[in-house]
Chain A
Amino acid sequence: MSTKSGRKIVWGHLILLTVIVCVVTAYLLDARGVSLRTNNLLLVQPAAILALVLAALVLPGIFPRADSTEEAEINSETRADLIRVFILIAALAGLAFSLEVVGFDIATFIFMVVGLAVCGEKRWWVNLLFSAIFTVFLIYGYGTITPFPFPLTFL
């Protein structure tokens, strides 16, 4: 992925920086939309502008020279490793968004099974047993000390 000048693009970093810049810009516009009074913008406006300036300073890091070793350690990662990371992130999203919908018991158990599998537990019976026991312990343990009940389906 080299460009004319012998530089490459670190796509992941570009995405991250884009997200940060978009969030900061959207936040600044939203705050200015609410009110232009000092009581609203005193800190937010200068901080947002500072963040945008800093983001501009970071920009060269996204296009390091092709011979630069700066981002080398990331390249040692295989595509399969990265896919496992994304599966785990997706599973965590599933857990976070479904807890209250399908119940803590089901959501936790499914996440544990997927999580153990993707983290490298190959024996299916160990996976299912550990997931089940851990789910039950967690629900009763945290349920006891939390000042409100967890939504459950089976337990």
Chain B
Amino acid sequence: MIELNSVFGAFALLSSDINAWLYLLPGLAIGLIFGAMPGISITMAMAFALPATLYMEFLPAIVFLTAIYTGAGFGGSVPAVLMGIPGTSSAVATTFDGYPMARKGLHNEALGIALASSVVGCLASYVILFILIVPISGVVLKLGPLEMFAVAVWGMLLLGSLAGTHMSRGLLAGTFGVLLGTVGMNTAGFVRGTIGIPWLLDGVPQIPAMMGLLAASQLIGLINTTYLIDDEGSRKISFAKILGGVRQTFSHPTIIFRGSLIGVIIGAIPGVGSSISNLLSYSETKRNAADGDTFGQGNPKGVIAAEAANSSSEGGAMATMLALGIPGGGATAILLAAFAMHNIVGGPSFIAHNKDIVYAVIFSNFAQAILLFVVGLGFVYVAGYVVRVPLRFLIPSVLVVSTYGAYAIEGSSAGPITLWVFSVLGWAMVRYGYPVAAAVVGLLLGSLLEGNLLRTNQISGGDFIGYGLDRPWALVIFALMLGSILLQLISKRRRAKEEALSAVQSS
């Protein structure tokens, strides 16, 4: 699939304009800062920079915009780890273990792990993309509603493992989340549950609701605590420990590889992307880990799984954009607009005629990933100081920042009001033993589940099984899912047996 001529062409293109590389650093920095602001999406960061690229040459423009894309992709993980705020839906799973790590005083390690997994995930995704761009793009469009429904169900499996000690409360939280996720106009045009509020037509604003459930509720509960980390000695910002986290990441190559693969494949599906891939990767890693029970309490593997998947989704989305000319989300829509400004229109003919440009984009992303590591190290080092701010300053400040982010993403008070409602709900849920993460997963997947279940029903005329047998990819996804569950059951049983055996031997 790799054409050497085009590879050389790409190198020629990249070295033709050395100035293009000057945009790499500012692009990454803008992306990191925008991304770290809760509520400021990657799309907003890129829309902000788009006018500036109007007068640039093609190569610098693309390098600049994709650098913002890469930077913003990681930027969102920083508040997710340090404050449990998922600034974007792609950082949700990062909060599950990243934030508990920070609370335990492992913030340096958590940030190092997040950075390293992001960098490696991003690199891996472009390597996979480099090899598989054509076959991936061939499959993406053929995915129908049943396949998407299967992906959504796969994500829902996470509910079982998030439930914690009270299974019924966990499932109730998840089901409640799914229901809230279907509020508004559904895919067939029926409007439910809006109680006369126009902005609920589009459903419950997801990101403000997630920030409320996951972050604001925690902050409110922390009011009687003085610091994020109880132990004063652990509040240090240590470069060595950040690097320790980086090293730790590399001892889990399987998790990174699985995360990257899930990220690329899910990221390539238009409209799904990174918000689901991080959940799937987290769920699979937890199910396959020997210490799966400690996920959610600050297990580094959870952070690796989430970050490897969400950063590699970028590569997947780029594959769809380059190969098919289809924007999978807002960020790639802006990139396509930038391409168009320079008379380059994405699509199958583009990839056939301009392989050198495609490879140039891929190579410049390799450089970005490596540079992200350097810039990111500095960034997380500075950001880490958040743990030294007394909570009496941090709580109101972060609540205000979240409110602004909620406003920024919705463009009206709808965001802050949603944030408030869900932070009260989240606070009460945490208090009475309901896992808020389950509600978040339900909320995220609710409309995806409903829309695709509905479309499957429409397209099959109600004959799910007959239709399903004609959809090999759906069968593959369901088979993989079942296989993964079976494997888990088997390994769990084996582990229990071994434990019993060792217990007998030691006694």
Query: Do A and B truly interact?
Result: yes
Note all chain A residues with C-beta closer than 8 A to B175.
Answer: 47, 50-51, 54
Contact of A145 among B34, B193, B391, B419 (CB under 8 A): B34
User: Is B431 a contact partner of A146 (Cβ separation < 8 A)?
Assistant: no
Note all chain A residues with C-beta closer than 8 A to B417.
Answer: 96-97
Interface of B is mostly: helix
B276 to chain A, nearest CB (A): 17
Interface of A is mostly: helix
Contact of B192 among A24, A34, A112, A116 (CB under 8 A): A34
- Whether B54 is near chain A, meaning CB under 8 Å from some CB there, is no
Contact of A96 among B44, B183, B226, B419 (CB under 8 A): B419
Note all chain B residues with C-beta closer than 8 A to A92.
Answer: 216, 220, 399, 403, 420, 423
Known: A40-B188, A134-B400. A147 touches B47 (CB 8 A): yes
Q: Digit string of B193-229 for contact with A (CB within 8 Å is 1, else 0)?
A: 1010000000000000000000010001101101000
User: Is B429 a contact partner of A16 (Cβ separation < 8 A)?
Assistant: yes
Contact of B395 among A24, A27, A115 (CB under 8 A): A115
- Whether B55 is near chain A, meaning CB under 8 Å from some CB there, is no
Interface size of B by Cβ–Cβ distance < 8 Å? 68
Cα distance, A71 to B416, chains bound together (Å): 31
User: Is A89 a contact partner of B424 (Cβ separation < 8 A)?
Assistant: yes
Note all chain A residues with C-beta closer than 8 A to B193.
Answer: 26-27, 30-31
User: Is A89 a contact partner of B427 (Cβ separation < 8 A)?
Assistant: yes
Q: Digit string of A115-148 for contact with B (CB within 8 Å is 1, else 0)?
A: 1101111000000001000100010001001111
Closest 9 CB pairs of A and B: A115-B396, A96-B416, A39-B188, A119-B392, A54-B172, A57-B168, A31-B192, A40-B190, A43-B450
Q: Can you name 18 A-B pairs with beta carbons within 8 Å? A: A20-B176, A27-B183, A34-B190, A37-B188, A39-B457, A40-B190, A58-B169, A85-B220, A95-B403, A104-B404, A111-B399, A115-B399, A118-B223, A119-B391, A120-B226, A134-B400, A145-B34, A145-B408
B residues near A (Cβ < 8 Å) are 34, 37, 40, 44-45, 47-48, 166, 168-169, 171-172, 175-176, 178-179, 182-183, 186, 188, 190-193, 195, 216, 220-221, 223-224, 226, 391-393, 395-397, 399-401, 403-405, 407-408, 411-413, 416-417, 419-420, 423-425, 427-429, 431-434, 449-450, 453-454, 457-458
